[in-house]
A and B are shown apart, each in its own frame.
Chain A
C-alpha cells in the first residue's frame, strides 16, 4: 500500500497535474484566438503593470479596503506553494528518486507555515459563513475545495509530529496531496493558472485601449 501510494500514484499525480495544466492553458491560448479582442488588445507593458499592482500586497485600492483579508490571502498563498516545495522530507524523497534537490525550510518554519495555511483556510471558511455577499455565492463545492486544499497540510502536520496513527496519516497525506494536485487544473483551483492571464488581459484593456488604471 505505502509503496504504491508513495511511488506510482505520486508520479501519476504529477503527470495528470502537468498534463492537465498544459491542456487548460493550451486550450485557452488556442480558443483565445477566436475571440475578437484578446490577442489584438494584449499588451505586455500594461498587462505587467496591472499584474504588479495585484501581486504586491496593498498595491490596489480593494486590498487596502480589506487589510485583514489581504494579509491572510498573501500569507496563505505564499505558504501554500512554498511549504510543499521547500519541505525537507519532500526534497529528500525527490533526491532519492531523481537526484535533484534544493534549499529546504528549517523544521520550525515549515511548521509555522503549515499552520498559516490551516489558519488561512479556516479564515476563508469563516468569511464564507459570516459575510452575506460571500455566503450568497457559496455552494458546497467551495467548502469541498477548501477541504481538498487543507487536507494534505493537516495530515502532513499530524504525520510529521507523529501525534497518532503515523502510517495511516502518511498514506492519507499522500492521497490527499495527490487529490490536491489533480484538482488544480480541473476545478476552480485553476485560478492559479488563469490568474496571470485574466489579470493581464484586464490590465491591457484598461491601460492599452482605455488609458486607465485597473487597481
Chain B
C-alpha cells in the first residue's frame, strides 16, 4: 500500500462517532439523484468496459466503476455509516487515486448512472473527515489561502506577466499583456502552473492575441486562476470561493467573455461545478476554452497558418472539454490546420480514454505516480498505436499525466500544448515584429 500522510496520519485521529455522523450527514444532504441511482443500479457490470483502470489492470473487478462504488458508497449505506478507519483509508485510495471522475462510465451504463458524481460524494465525506491525499490537500490549501493553485503571490504574478510580456516583445515588438484593462473584449485566465513552471505559454498567448488584434486583458489581482483542485478534494466551499472570485474579477473588468487556457479541469470548475454549487444555471460571464478560442481565430482568419508542423502527431481528447463540452470536432479542425501528419486516436471523441491525471488524481502527487501509470496502460497502447511522435494535450492535467505515462511505458513521445505548435506555425505580420 502506498504511503501517504494525508491518509495514514489523518485516519488515526478519527473516532467511530465522527465517521458515522459525517457519512450520514452527507448522505442525508444528497437527494433524488443519489437515491434513484442507488435503487436503479441492477449490478450488471456493464459500466466496467468504460473504465481505463479496469481495462488497464487486466479487468480486475475492483477497478470497474461499479466495483469502486461497491467498495465505498454501498458499504457506507449498508452499514449506515458504521465503518472503521481502515475502511475510510481504503475508500480514500479508491475515490481519489483510482477514479479520474472522467464520466466515461455514464456513457456505458444503460441507465446513465453518474458514478463519478457518486464517488465525488464520497470525496466530500472524506474531505469533511480531513482524510485527503497530502499533495491534493496542499493544493486545496493554496486555493484557500491565495486563490490560486500554487501559492503564487500577487507581486510574483504581476512580475511574471511583465517578464513574459518582455519575452514576447523579443519576438514581436508590438506584443503586450494588458493588465487590468476595464471594458476589454476578452479576459484571459490561466491556471497557476503557467506563471509558476510554464511561463512561456503566457508569452505565446500574448503574441497570438497581438497577431489576431484582440482587445484583451489579464487581471492584476487575485481571481486570475480558475483551476480548481478544491472541487476535487471535496472542499466545495473553497471551490465556490475560487469560482466566485474568478467571475467577480471578470465582472469588475466588464469584459465580454472569458477565454481560458488549455486546461480541462479548470474549464469544468468554471463551466459546471462552480456555477452548480453557487446555484447559477450557467456562468454569469460567457466562458470559452482555448480550443474554442483558437478555432474561432482560425476560422475567422484572424490568425493564419503558414508553416505546418511536420512530425507525426496525435491528440488527447480531454474529458472535460470533449465529454464536457463537445469540442472534439473543433480540436480536429485545429489539428488538421496546423499539422501535416495528424494521426487520430481510437477510441476518440466522447469515447476517448481519460488520461488518468484528471479529477485531482495527478494532484495526489508523487506517491501515486506509479499506480496511476499502471492504471492507464490502455492509454499508452492507444497512443503507441498511432505511431505519432508528439501528443497534443490541450489540458494541463493531460499534459503532465500523459508525459508520465509516456516515460513509464517508454513510448518515446512528447506532449505539446496547442499553443506550442501554433506559435511556430502562424503568420506573424512584419509590421508587428519591429
Contact = CB atoms under 8 A, between A and B. Distances in A.
Do A and B make up one complex?
yes
Interface of A: 27-28, 31-32, 34-38, 40-41, 50, 54, 60-62, 65-66, 69, 131-139, 142, 187-188, 190-191, 194-195, 197-199, 201-203, 205-206, 209-215
- Lowest 4 CB-CB distances: which A-B pairs, in order? A202-B112, A211-B326, A136-B61, A134-B45
Given A135-B61, A202-B112, 11 more contacts: A133-B45, A136-B45, A137-B64, A188-B42, A191-B40, A191-B41, A194-B111, A197-B36, A198-B111, A212-B323, A214-B350
A38 B325 CA distance: 18
Given A62-B46, A214-B106, A133 B41 contact: no
B198 interface: no
B169 to A, nearest CB: 38
B31 A34 contact: yes
Contact of A191 (B108, B111, B276): B111
A60 B106 CA distance: 12
B325 A211 contact: yes
Given A136-B61, A190-B39, A214-B106, A203 B112 contact: yes
Given A133-B45, A133-B48, A198-B112, A209 B272 contact: yes
B323 A132 contact: no
Contacts of A134: 43-45
A37 B45 CA distance: 27
Contacts of A191: 39-42, 111
Contacts of B67: 133, 136-137
Nearest to A207: B326
A212 B108 CA distance: 14
A96 B250 CA distance: 71
Contact of B70 (A65, A136, A142, A188): A136
Given A35-B31, A190-B39, A62 B49 contact: yes
Given A36-B279, A210-B326, A31 B272 contact: no
B107 interface: yes
Interface string B248-265: 000000000000000000
Contact of A210 (B44, B111, B325): B325
Contacts, number: 138
Interface in B44-74: 44-46, 48-50, 54, 59, 61-62, 64, 66-67, 70
Q: How large is the interface on B (under 10, 10 to 19, 20 to 34, 35 or more residues)?
A: 35 or more
A197 B111 CA distance: 9
Contact of B32 (A34, A69, A137): A34
Contact of A36 (B62, B276, B351): B276
Contact of A40 (B36, B70, B281): B281
25 contacts: A28-B32, A28-B36, A31-B31, A32-B31, A36-B276, A36-B277, A60-B107, A62-B50, A66-B46, A133-B45, A137-B64, A137-B70, A138-B43, A194-B111, A195-B110, A198-B112, A199-B110, A199-B112, A202-B112, A202-B114, A209-B272, A210-B324, A210-B325, A211-B326, A212-B323
B322 interface: yes
Contacts of A213: 107, 326, 350
Most-contacted residue by chain B among A32, A65, A191, A203 (CB, 10 A): A191
B163 interface: no
Given A32-B32, A40-B281, A133 B276 contact: no
